[in-house]
Structure 1
Amino acid sequence: MIAIEEIGRMSPDNIGLVTVLAGEDLGQYAQMKERLFEAVAFDKDDLTYSYFDLSEEDYATAEMDLESLPFLSDYKIVIFDNFQDLTTDKKSYLDEAALKRFEAYLANPVDTTRLIVLAPGKLDGKRRLVKLLKRDAKVLEANALKEADLRTYFQKQAHQAGLIFESGVFEELFIKSNFDFSDIQKNLAFLKAYKKDGHITSKDISEAIPKSLQDNIFDLTQMVLRGKIDAARDLVRDLRLQGEDDVKLIAIILGQFRMFLQVKILASHGKNESQIVADLSDYLGRKVNPYQVKFALRDSRTLSIAYLKTAIKTLIETDYAIKTGTYEKEYLFDIALLKIAHTKLA
């Protein structure tokens, strides 16, 4: 069972002495935080509950409430929000003395207090406090889900929302949402509002879900690669009207072509998809989304390594020319697209 589903089984009566909610997937974290508040029936006007934002309030004040007896009830729920000191975030709101006192509380928690600690970000496993919490508390982490867990969770969500997807369309939803938890959640809501009968087709995905900048840049790249220059110019004009800057557009396109080149080179050395993900993650120093690799392999199939190198060089030179003020950036950007298209067609 994934963490967000565990929260669904929690209530004011079964919550433990200490519960921690943390995680790097901030979209999922926000959903889990909202559901946790619902699960424990949080009410800011109810004296059974106390809420402290540690980024704004002094720990000494929160500590007094943590250790005091409940008022007209068997127990009370105390919430410490933005406890960044537990994460790898460089922000720190508690001094060493306060952290020592909190550690002492964890060693002997008050049995009439139910403490909820909210820490957006990655828990710092090297900290003694985090080790103690992982040993003695209920720790829920909003981290990127495995594909199978992501699909299973949202299949349940779609069923509860009364949505029925035609064959292959559920996959389109995931692709459209970049396999991002919060984007899938948001797009399911779009579909539910858009299609009252709940029957979702491929056309509904394209019509109901707004295009992201990444979607538009992907379309732009495909237009250029296919030599559809007029269509590419129209899309660029629309993006400029929406306030997008040419330098930002170049950076995103450059990122796409670099990914194409990286997977092509690794694939040419006999690497399979999972090996490419591992190698790129190691090279870039961050976990690469496996779906990025899957789609980059698919979309770069007809592109040669030599062509990709030329396209990347063109984009880098254009970026430099824009930033040094050689010519108007709109002109330079349009010329770059023409060069990339012409090289592909040559």
Structure 2
Amino acid sequence: MNYKELNKNIKNNEISPVYLFTGPEQYIGHMMEKTLADIEISRGLETLNLTIYSDKNLDVSELLATCETLPLMSKKRMVIVRKEAQFDKITDKKDLERLTAYLEKPCPSTLLIIYWEQPDKRKKVYKAITKYGSVVVFEKLDAGELQAWITRRIQNAGKKIARSALDVFIQRSMYLANEKKNMEMVDNELNSLIDYIGDREEVTKEDVLLILPQSIEDGIFKMIDYAMTGDKGRALLMLSQFYQEGESPFGVFSLLLRQIRMLLMVKIHTGRGMPPKTVAGEMKLAPFVVNKILKNGRNYPLESLWDLMVLGADLDARMKLGEIDQNFALELFLMKIK
């Protein structure tokens, strides 16, 4: 199930004794565990009935003993095994057998939540959870879910935001375009935005532009533009500015390759007659991101993009093998763009 289905089950009081939280959006999982704690643990008694394991080398005996302990003056006891506890690293056969036995018959007065970002579905422990508990997959939000999330957060703060300002926030956040961006980062940006406007009710586009300055991804597009139009000097100047802002050569190179790959894929899809909205769905991007890529890449020949991907793959391998200096490789790559 996803977080929406979990929310629905919670509202219907259909709560499992064991949950496995997987997927990249662990931040949303933390929010859901708080919702469960508010329901299952008596207010003011959290310290007595909530145990969190976050240290490496999880002690399975201690974990199971805690799970078997009755709650104190509360409906349930909650036990949470965080990602940092490395549940997936448990290899001792006896420990695995004891865990599996508990999962097959969990204590009814305990709510156990286990974080396992990429579970091995072949393992007996995983199969026991799927059979006797519930698996919740916290994937990255899509464009519609992200819009709803941001709107709801702003409304909960007693503010409102126009659609144009919302679109700018989503664009500048880079959540839909950057797979490494998560909802914790987006929420931190939202908090900064809400704090900035103070007593004002409406969030404006100008507020968003101030709080979320132009991202390095936008700068990468400009750098490619300069290189494509033959202005290598300005492209190299932008590269120097990225270094001054703390970006590493390998980090800039990775972003550069990613932008070129996205340009290539969008041009291939649209070249086959696929409308931008369909391309957005195919690539799991927001429509405005695809439109922006099309606008930025309208002057980039498809053949040149293919050549750059081949060159980039070669330089990437040589950098990782230590056969070429990262700074030199990146400068060489820019000089080859035409």
In which range does the TM-score fall when normalised by the shorter chain?
0.7 to 0.9
Is 2:148 aligned against 1:161? Answer: no
Report the TM-score, using the length of structure 2 for normalisation.
0.74
Distance (Å, rounded) in 2 between the aligned partners of 1:80 and 1:317 = 42
Q: Deviations over 1:9-67 (max 9, x none)?
A: 969x9855333433222443454456555665698983333333473331012212222
Equivalent residues in 2 for 1:1-346 (5 A)? 3=3, 6=6, 16-33=16-33, 46-53=47-54, 55-71=56-72, 75-82=76-83, 84-85=86-87, 91-111=88-108, 113-178=109-174, 179=176, 180-196=182-198, 197-225=200-228, 232-272=235-275, 288-291=283-286, 295-309=292-306, 311-312=308-309, 324=323, 329=327, 333=330, 337=334, 340=337, 343=338
The answer to whether the Cα contact below 8 Å between 1:173 and 1:184 also exists between their aligned partners in 2 is no
Q: Deviations over 1:235-266 (max 9, x none)?
A: 32321112323343233213322332233234
Determine helix, strand or coil for the equivalent of 1:47: helix
Report the TM-score, using the length of structure 1 for normalisation.
0.73
Could you tell me which amino acid in structure 2 is paired with residue 19 of structure 1?
Y
Determine helix, strand or coil for the equivalent of 1:140: strand
The residue number in structure 1 matching 2:179 is none
Distance (Å, rounded) in 2 between the aligned partners of 1:125 and 1:157 = 35
The answer to whether the Cα contact below 8 Å between 2:80 and 2:114 also exists between their aligned partners in 1 is yes
Could you tell me which amino acid in structure 2 is paired with residue 262 of structure 1?
M
C-alpha change, 1:156 and 1:167, in structure 2 (3 Å) is closer
Could you tell me which amino acid in structure 2 is paired with residue 24 of structure 1?
P
Could you tell me which amino acid in structure 2 is paired with residue 289 of structure 1?
K
Distance (Å, rounded) in 2 between the aligned partners of 1:76 and 1:329 = 54
Distance (Å, rounded) in 1 between the aligned partners of 2:145 and 2:154 = 14
Q: Deviations over 1:178-200 (max 9, x none)?
A: 23533332221121122221422
C-alpha change, 1:176 and 1:222, in structure 2 (3 Å) is farther
Distance (Å, rounded) in 2 between the aligned partners of 1:274 and 1:189 = 31
Distance (Å, rounded) in 2 between the aligned partners of 1:48 and 1:316 = 52
Determine helix, strand or coil for the equivalent of 1:50: strand
Q: Residue 110 of structure 1: CA displacement?
A: 2.5
C-alpha change, 1:260 and 1:17, in structure 2 (3 Å) is closer
Distance (Å, rounded) in 2 between the aligned partners of 1:20 and 1:325 = 44
C-alpha change, 1:307 and 1:114, in structure 2 (3 Å) is same
Distance (Å, rounded) in 1 between the aligned partners of 2:228 and 2:159 = 36
Q: Residue 234 of structure 1: CA displacement?
A: 4.4
Determine helix, strand or coil for the equivalent of 2:90: coil
What's the % identity of the aligned pairs? 19
The answer to whether the Cα contact below 8 Å between 1:52 and 1:80 also exists between their aligned partners in 2 is yes
Q: Residue 135 of structure 1: CA displacement?
A: 4.1
The answer to whether the Cα contact below 8 Å between 2:9 and 2:15 also exists between their aligned partners in 1 is no
C-alpha change, 1:161 and 1:228, in structure 2 (3 Å) is farther
Could you tell me which amino acid in structure 2 is paired with residue 182 of structure 1?
E
Alignment RMSD (CA, Å)? 4.1
Unpaired runs of at least 5, structure 1: 86-90, 280-287
Determine helix, strand or coil for the equivalent of 2:47: coil
Q: How many aligned residue pairs are there? A: 324
The answer to whether the Cα contact below 8 Å between 1:174 and 1:184 also exists between their aligned partners in 2 is no
The answer to whether the Cα contact below 8 Å between 1:15 and 1:114 also exists between their aligned partners in 2 is no
The answer to whether the Cα contact below 8 Å between 1:16 and 1:114 also exists between their aligned partners in 2 is no
C-alpha change, 1:55 and 1:329, in structure 2 (3 Å) is closer
The answer to whether the Cα contact below 8 Å between 1:25 and 1:144 also exists between their aligned partners in 2 is yes
The residue number in structure 2 matching 1:284 is none
The answer to whether the Cα contact below 8 Å between 1:4 and 1:32 also exists between their aligned partners in 2 is no
Q: Residue 312 of structure 1: CA displacement?
A: 4.9
Q: Deviations over 1:277-303 (max 9, x none)?
A: 788xxxxxxxx5334655434432332
The answer to whether the Cα contact below 8 Å between 2:70 and 2:110 also exists between their aligned partners in 1 is no
Q: Residue 276 of structure 1: CA displacement?
A: 5.5
